[in-house]
């Protein structure tokens, strides 16, 4: 055999060995995650969110409020999901997001800054013209705490296993109740409509350390956190916040349970806008009852997730849509902008999707996004990276009701958001 022939044979053998060898692990093999939690309970009386008729300051605390951060990293790309026991960030949104992005060196698309929409928490504001001085002080401190909790979650990144599962829970109910007067006049009011559309899906994300120790249990469910109403002046995470506390207690091992409010602009808890925590002997207070019910379903789903492993690649996107607004009413001389911004954030972690919607989105919109998603599971997270008010499906603009009359958006706006969110997920 001459030298040239020997070299060719050797190269052929090398080529075959390369083809036969296992492919290099993709970036999923490098999946890392980190979690952190910080207490954000106010230490002074504050004005509370969600009900315009409630003017006084808070008088006590039933359960602590938390901000929870869950960070992922794959191949240098990062994603941070922040769940906060607040109604939303409103006029503080841009300031808090900018601080986190700058301090933690994130891309705008890598941060999901969200709130669970509890109506029993402080009203965030950075302006004394818009809120009480105690609330401004609280929000300034909150900004630093959010930066710190995100930084801590990123600093704790470690190799993890990931699993996802789904369950169902009936505690959320459609609140668009049809009332008909003795004269035969009909209207849609805020009440209880047991036969109306609801998204009962409970999505659960299981994150475990390499040795299977629980690290985080993230979950998503579509309901307002409004078990407590206008007469309540006690600080609480309400249904969703209490569910997260329950999950953390039961799972143990220091696991953190970030909770996210799904598309629930027209969904309330089964028991809604109650005056206080009922302390009657033998009575289980409704927020505790419903929060525990949801929390137990989360734990059931979590314990049934047996398949954990890599998650594929990580990709994110962030878009600000200019949505059309309602035309001025007939005879009105008020000048309104033709469009209003609405933020959509999207991320894919393997076959798991996250869609952050910067507003109070009705449940049919979230369900449509899930139906059109290319991923096996899609977490729709509202009150995320914006405060865009109510967004209702086109058909509801014919029916009317509170969500429609208070929305600034034109009937076609919801379809634009649905199409854009689905497009973003497919492009990722």
pLDDT confidence band for 15 (50 / 70 / 90)? very low
What are 111-127's pLDDT values in tens digits?
999 999 999 999 999 99
**For residue 284, what are the contacts with CB-CB under 8 A and spacing of at least 6?**
none
Going from N- to C-terminal start, the domains of the chain cover 28-304, 314-427
The residues pairing with 315 across neighbouring beta strands, listed in sequence order, are 348
For the chain, the average pLDDT equals 92
Average pLDDT score over residue span 197-219:
97
**Extended strands (E) in 327-367:** 339-349, 352-357, 360-361
- pLDDT tens for each residue of 153-186: 999 999 999 999 999 999 999 999 999 989 899 9
What's the number of CA atoms in the CB half-sphere (13 Å) around residue 327? 3
- Rounded-to-integer distance, Cα 115 and Cα 113, Å: 7
Q: How far apart are CA 11 and CA 6, in angstroms?
A: 9
Query: What is the Cα–Cα distance from 342 to 382, expressed in whole angstroms?
Result: 12
pLDDT (mean) for 221-242: 98
Q: What confidence score (pLDDT) does residue 29 get?
A: 52
pLDDT of residue 260 exceeding 60, the answer is yes
pLDDT-based confidence at residue 311 (cuts at 50, 70, 90)? low
Average pLDDT rounded to a whole number, residues 59-85: 97
Residue 12 has pLDDT above 50, yes or no: no
pLDDT of residue 334: 77
Whether the predicted pLDDT of 215 surpasses 90: yes
Average pLDDT for 397-403: 95
pTM equals 0.92
Position of tokens 């053998």? 13
Residue 422 CB coordination number (10 Å): 21
- Per residue in 325-359, pLDDT tens? 998 887 777 788 999 999 999 999 999 999 999 99
Helices (H), 222-316: 238-251, 286-304
The pLDDT of residue 259 is above 90: yes
Neighbouring-strand partners of residue 73: 32, 78
Task: Give 378: exposed, middle or buried? Use CB within 10 Å, 0-12, 13-18, 19+.
Answer: buried
Q: Is the pLDDT of residue 7 over 90?
A: no
Provide the pLDDT confidence category of residue 2 given band limits of 50, 70 and 90: very low
Alpha helices in 89-194 (DSSP H): 93-104, 133-155
Neighbours of 60 (CB within 10 A): 9
């Amino acid at each position: 055999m001459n030298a040239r022939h020997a070299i060719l044979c050797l190269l052929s053998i090398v080529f075959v060995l390369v083809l036969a060898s296992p492919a290099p692990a993709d970036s999923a093999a490098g999946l890392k995650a980190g979690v952190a939690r910080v207490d954000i309970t106010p230490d002074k009386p504050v004005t509370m969110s969600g009900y315009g008729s409630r003017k006084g300051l808070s008088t006590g605390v039933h359960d602590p409020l938390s901000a929870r951060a869950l960070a992922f990293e794959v191949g240098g790309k990062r994603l941070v999901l922040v769940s906060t026991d607040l109604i939303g960030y409103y006029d503080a949104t841009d300031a808090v997001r900018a601080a986190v992005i700058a301090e933690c060196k994130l891309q705008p698309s890598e941060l999901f800054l969200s709130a669970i929409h509890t109506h029993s928490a402080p009203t965030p504001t950075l302006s004394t013209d818009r809120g009480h001085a105690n609330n401004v002080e609280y929000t300034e401190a909150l900004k630093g705490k959010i930066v710190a909790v995100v930084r801590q979650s990123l600093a704790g990144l470690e190799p993890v296993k990931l699993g996802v599962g789904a369950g169902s829970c009936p505690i959320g109910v459609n609140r668009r109740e049809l009332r008909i007067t003795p004269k035969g006049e009909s209207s849609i009011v805020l009440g209880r409509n047991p036969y109306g559309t609801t998204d009962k899906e409970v999505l659960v994300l299981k994150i475990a350390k390499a040795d299977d120790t629980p690290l985080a249990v993230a979950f998503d469910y579509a309901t307002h956190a409004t078990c407590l109403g206008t007469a309540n002046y006690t600080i609480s995470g309400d249904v969703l916040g209490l569910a997260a506390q329950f999950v953390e207690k039961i799972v143990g091992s220091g696991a953190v349970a970030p909770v996210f409010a799904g598309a629930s602009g027209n969904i309330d808890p089964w028991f809604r806008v109650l005056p206080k925590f009922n302390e009657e002997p033998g009575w289980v207070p409704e927020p505790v009852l419903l929060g525990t019910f949801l929390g137990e379903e989360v734990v059931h789903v979590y314990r049934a997730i047996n398949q954990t492993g890599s998650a594929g690649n990580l990709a994110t996107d962030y878009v600000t849509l200019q949505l059309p607004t309602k035309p001025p009413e007939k005879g009105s001389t008020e000048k309104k902008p033709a469009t209003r911004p609405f933020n959509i954030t999207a991320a894919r972690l393997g076959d798991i999707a996250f869609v952050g919607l910067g507003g109070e989105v009705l449940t049919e919109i979230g369900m449509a996004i899930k139906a059109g998603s290319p991923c096996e599971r899609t977490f729709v997270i509202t009150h995320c990276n914006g405060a865009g008010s109510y967004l209702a499906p086109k058909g509801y603009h014919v029916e009317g009701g509170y969500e429609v009359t208070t929305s600034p958006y034109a009937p076609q706006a919801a379809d634009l958001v649905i199409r854009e969110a689905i497009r973003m997920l497919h492009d990722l």
